[in-house]
Structure 1
């Protein structure tokens, strides 16, 4: 990461939290604490009102860069609740992308909203009684393939089978059930629509080649093909 990119990221983090330590920032960006000290000085030289609280960390002066979009307390609480729910997902890419987006959103919270959202953060817990230690890291890429009509090649292992099969598919839609993400795709091996659990895709490749839309309807699919792993 370049210094400019890191400075912008540090500023975003400072706007999203009331207080950050040099140690936290160094760990986040995998640099030395001395580098963070230099970055903070750069921000100060650029006119960013960074306040140093001795022994506690850094914050931004109240009222700096008032955002054109303001969130109500209920809207902020909804985002914090969504964060807890999404963190239950077993797909690393989805969780990371959401948390990065939420950090940017939090950067425009007023200080009073930040304080209350941080309080609520510590007072919510989601229990998941059905535990299955299988994770994935494909959801974000597959979503891009859906919206850009890119073929995907996958190596897939069904829950009830020891064999791994190679599939070339046209990704059309996704849904979640029991904290598991399901991909609906046209499968060239089966010459029909099939449902694939994303956490059972062992390897995938998004192809540059694009497919013609078959005018797939998720509503029609649910009416005729209730979920069954194929």
Structure 2
């Protein structure tokens, strides 16, 4: 069993009000006690209030419950499929945030749907032989900067170039193309909107400084790009 299904199973057991020891969990899932320690830490990082009772085991904090949301099997399958697609983004921050959210979501699945979702998890694979294997770790932070109107400072390297340029930008929108996330931002160096591949950002800093909304419209931007291409 991979880590994510095991985390969901541990959370399900804890939700049943049982007191569980690391040894019991290790034996049940056929892993080491050290692995269980890492699993519990992962649940805590995802915001699950796991209480450690010295010498007795683990339990959930009194009063903790997950919202009673019911998912159909097709909805559960959509989430599993989305997870595979998101893993193709190669952005560590975004993948981690999604997987932690999915742990919480899957904890409310009915047992029958949970088992089927785990089965489907092992039966989906996405092939992309032309995929450029460049990873990033900025997507989640960039999304926050977009919604909170924070300036970003970046060191950026264009494709097929070695020079790195420093930019101060106002992030406005993003889109995905060929499994790559593209950020549209107002560039203070160029004094215009520019597109930045997030996996080409070598270093970034989210500033506390806020920018004034320029009322950027993504659809109008795409129409403008299409119009300029038709003229060339």
**Under TM normalisation by the shorter chain, which class is it?**
0.7 to 0.9
Superposed displacement of residue 74, structure 1: 0.8
Contact 2:52 2:58 in 1 (8 A): no
Partner of 2:57: 41
Q: How has the CA–CA distance of structure 1 residues 67 and 213 changed in structure 2, closer, same or farther, with 3 Å as cutoff?
A: closer
Contact 1:16 1:106 in 2 (8 A): no
TM-score (norm 1): 0.77
Partner of 2:83: 83
Q: Which runs of 5 or more structure 2 residues have no equivalent in the other structure?
A: 1-6, 15-24, 43-50
SS of 1:43's partner is: strand
C-alpha offsets along residues 41-78 of structure 1, whole Å, 9 cap, x if unaligned? Answer: 2428x789xxxxxxxxxxxxxxxx68521111111111
Partner of 1:139: 139
Superposition pairs of residues 140-219 of structure 1, within 5 angstroms: 140-219=140-219
Contact 1:89 1:179 in 2 (8 A): yes
SS of 2:57's partner is: helix
Q: Which runs of 5 or more structure 1 residues have no equivalent in the other structure?
A: 1-9, 49-64
Partner of 1:113: 113
C-alpha distance in 1, partners of 2:78/2:157? 36
C-alpha distance in 2, partners of 1:30/1:173? 34
C-alpha distance in 2, partners of 1:37/1:106? 26
Partner of 1:14: 11
Moved over 4 A (4+): 10-13, 16-23, 35-40
Matched, 1:127 2:131: no
Q: How has the CA–CA distance of structure 1 residues 112 and 141 changed in structure 2, closer, same or farther, with 3 Å as cutoff?
A: same
Contact 1:93 1:139 in 2 (8 A): yes
TM-score (norm 2): 0.76
C-alpha distance in 2, partners of 1:211/1:79? 35
